[in-house]
Structure 1
Amino acid sequence: MVYLVDNKKAQFNVLPKIINGGIAGIIGVTCVYPLDMVKTRLQNQPIGPNGERMYTSIADCFRKTIASEGFFGMYRGSFVNILLITPEKAIKLTANDYFRYKLATDDGVLPLPLAGLAGGLAGLFQIVVTTPMELLKIQMQDAGRVASLARAEGREVKKVTALGLTKKMLRERGIFGLYKGITATGIRDITFSVIYFPLMATINDSGPRKSDGSGEAVFYWSLMSGLLAGMTAAFLVTPLDVIKTRLQAGVKEYAGVGDCIRTTLKDEGITAFFKGGLCRVMVVAPLFGIAQMFYFLGVGEKILGIQQKKSV
């Protein structure tokens, strides 16, 4: 399978792509953050000696979180995520477009292996921002679970803030403390991007186009392309996400990716690697569907007064 890329003679404008990616990320993560909170807590919840769990399902986690922390408790840690999602999505979406543009032939042909390579490189570049963002987000999200347990036992817990958590990590481990779990994050994000971007492009290219002659897919088809590709990629890399989440949450200490895999298999079996899988699909599919749709709307081009070209 090959993909057609916009005219190679046309200039690739990075700045509007970055603006598009940033706006897409902010809107997307704001819409799906409560689901992401639930996913993290389901993946990271400890299991008691008799198999007891704090949360029995997605709905149960929603219900208990809102009951103990209020509606805005569903957005615990969201400030860090929204703040850092701007450069993260800007890097990911722009880098994929850039590498697709560079790897295509002069005739605008991009073979499937190179489309996968472009996506993988985008995933590699994004982990510079994704790793500290995910680490802080997961720590903040899990702090709510710990606080709920403490309150149930009648104990007082000091409030955890993103700034306080960042200062603590920097003080104890230095700047590299913010990159705990970077290997697992890289494996997850590169694998996801290799699957997601070529699949999204295939679906997006097969749909109806706008009537303005731009060659762009209509907005609802871009949304659908992101949804379907995000759903597929998210499910396939769920085991990698579980490993990354456990390494970064710090509820149990692991020597690394290999130790996390072995320990989880021994203690909980293969099904543990799909904990929160449904919730992850429910998070990632709309996140990328919404983000992809807003990315293709070309807000950056409109702000800068640049005529939008057919996207790559």
Structure 2
Amino acid sequence: MAAKKEKPIHSLIAGTTAGAIEAFVTYPTEFVKTRSQFGGQREAPLTIIRSTLREKGFAGLYSGCSALVVGNSVKAGVRFVAYDHFKGLLADEGGKVSAPRSLVAGLGAGMVEAILAVTPSETIKTKLIDDAKRPNPQYRGLVHGTASIIRQEGIFGIYRGLFPVMMRQGANSAVRFTTYSTLKQLVMGSARPGQQLPSGITFGIGAVAGLVTVYTTQPLDVIKTRMQSLSARQQYRNSFHCAYRILTEEGILRFWTGTTPRLARLIMSGGIVFTVYENIIAVIGDRGS
């Protein structure tokens, strides 16, 4: 199937909108996933939800949400613009993009988004969630928390865990885009030329892409969370040391901690993001053509 090259501004608008909506809708699952990945005593997802509701109320499940919504909207915008750009560069003379080339385009998009958007927002979000479980939290929201982190640790304080984030985002985007584009091409093969897929089908394909992504990249997500926690500097020298300690002290299964809430989020995330993106592109693409 020929690869249609979207205008960067259209990809940016559709991507940022899709990212913001997805982040807000799915944030409680992200909160539970992050809390479960911290070191110390293991907490089951339902235990985290019950204790948070009891101690902080429903708003407690949205601790650090603003950091993720802002970061996720920028991330999604950058991701789709970068992916469309790389996909255009890698398309053959007929405009087709093979699965291996789609994988490379996704990998490139993931690396770009990790540097420009994901690492700062993920670091701030993780520290806000880690801080929120303390009896007397020191951060009073996104702006105060960001300013405090930079004041205490410098600008590199919000770039802690850059390497595992780059690895995770590269793998995330490579797996998700390749799975999505491959399944979409299979489905479109039986559709009429020029026919747009129904939103339900798009959501289903995106959800499957999210499912595949979770199980293949979860270890990188756990390492990323540990490296961005408040106690990371005291516990780990670098990402490899973090992975070694988790493996030797907690066992290999610890790398898949938080799979259930992350699975719930990425299945919804894949469905929401691709559905919103495709529908916005269909509207503004037609108007801009």
Task: Tell me the TM-score normalized by structure 1.
Answer: 0.85
| C-alpha deviation, 1:17, in angstroms | 1.0
1:62 partner amino acid? I
Partner of residue 228, structure 1: 208
Partner of residue 181, structure 1: 161
| C-alpha deviation, 1:239, in angstroms | 0.5
1:141 partner amino acid? I
2:257 partner amino acid? K
Task: Indicate which of 171, 180, 183 corresponds to 1:191.
Answer: 171
Is residue 243 of structure 2 the alignment partner of residue 261 of structure 1?
yes
| C-alpha deviation, 1:303, in angstroms | 8.4
2:94 partner amino acid? D
User: Would the aligned equivalents of 2:6 and 2:84 in 1 still touch at CA under 8 Å?
Assistant: no
Q: CA RMSD in A?
A: 2.2
Partner of residue 50, structure 1: none
| C-alpha deviation, 1:158, in angstroms | 4.2
2:166 partner amino acid? G
In structure 1, what is the Cα distance between the partners aligned to 2:179 and 2:195? 19
Task: Report Cα offsets for 1:186-229 as digits up to 9, x if no partner.
Answer: 01110111111111111122226999964432211111111001
2:87 partner amino acid? R
Change over 3 Å in CA distance of 1:209–1:302 after alignment to 2 = farther
Partner of residue 126, structure 2: 138
Change over 3 Å in CA distance of 1:210–1:112 after alignment to 2 = closer
| C-alpha deviation, 1:277, in angstroms | 1.2
In structure 1, what is the Cα distance between the partners aligned to 2:87 and 2:51? 45
Count of residue correspondences = 286
Change over 3 Å in CA distance of 1:21–1:242 after alignment to 2 = same
Report matched runs for 1:102-181 at 5 Å.
102-127=89-114, 128-146=116-134, 150=135, 156-181=136-161
Partner of residue 284, structure 1: 266
User: Would the aligned equivalents of 2:139 and 2:148 in 1 still touch at CA under 8 Å?
Assistant: no
SS of 1:114's equivalent?
A: helix
User: Would the aligned equivalents of 1:116 and 1:195 in 2 still touch at CA under 8 Å?
Assistant: yes
Is residue 21 of structure 2 the alignment partner of residue 27 of structure 1?
yes
In structure 1, what is the Cα distance between the partners aligned to 2:137 and 2:92? 59
Task: Tell me the TM-score normalized by structure 2.
Answer: 0.92
User: Would the aligned equivalents of 2:71 and 2:121 in 1 still touch at CA under 8 Å?
Assistant: yes
User: Would the aligned equivalents of 1:121 and 1:190 in 2 still touch at CA under 8 Å?
Assistant: yes
In structure 1, what is the Cα distance between the partners aligned to 2:282 and 2:112? 21
1:104 partner amino acid? A
What are structure 2's unaligned runs of at least 5 residues?
none
Partner of residue 86, structure 1: 73
Change over 3 Å in CA distance of 1:158–1:260 after alignment to 2 = closer
SS of 1:250's equivalent?
A: coil
User: Would the aligned equivalents of 2:131 and 2:230 in 1 still touch at CA under 8 Å?
Assistant: no
Partner of residue 18, structure 1: 12
User: Would the aligned equivalents of 1:209 and 1:215 in 2 still touch at CA under 8 Å?
Assistant: no
* Between 100-109 and 208-217, the greater mean CA deviation after superposition: 208-217
* The structure with more radius of gyration: 1
Partner of residue 46, structure 1: 40
* Between 257-266 and 298-307, the greater mean CA deviation after superposition: 298-307
SS of 1:249's equivalent?
A: coil
Q: Which runs of 4+ in 1 moved over 3 A?
A: 156-160, 208-215
In structure 2, what is the Cα distance between the partners aligned to 1:259 and 1:105? 42
* Between 220-229 and 171-180, the greater mean CA deviation after superposition: 171-180
* Between 99-108 and 202-211, the greater mean CA deviation after superposition: 202-211
In structure 2, what is the Cα distance between the partners aligned to 1:197 and 1:241? 18
Task: Indicate which of 181, 200, 209 corresponds to 1:201.
Answer: 181
In structure 1, what is the Cα distance between the partners aligned to 2:159 and 2:274? 27
Partner of residue 2, structure 2: 4
Change over 3 Å in CA distance of 1:15–1:232 after alignment to 2 = same
User: Would the aligned equivalents of 1:169 and 1:178 in 2 still touch at CA under 8 Å?
Assistant: yes
| C-alpha deviation, 1:134, in angstroms | 0.2
Partner of residue 67, structure 1: 54
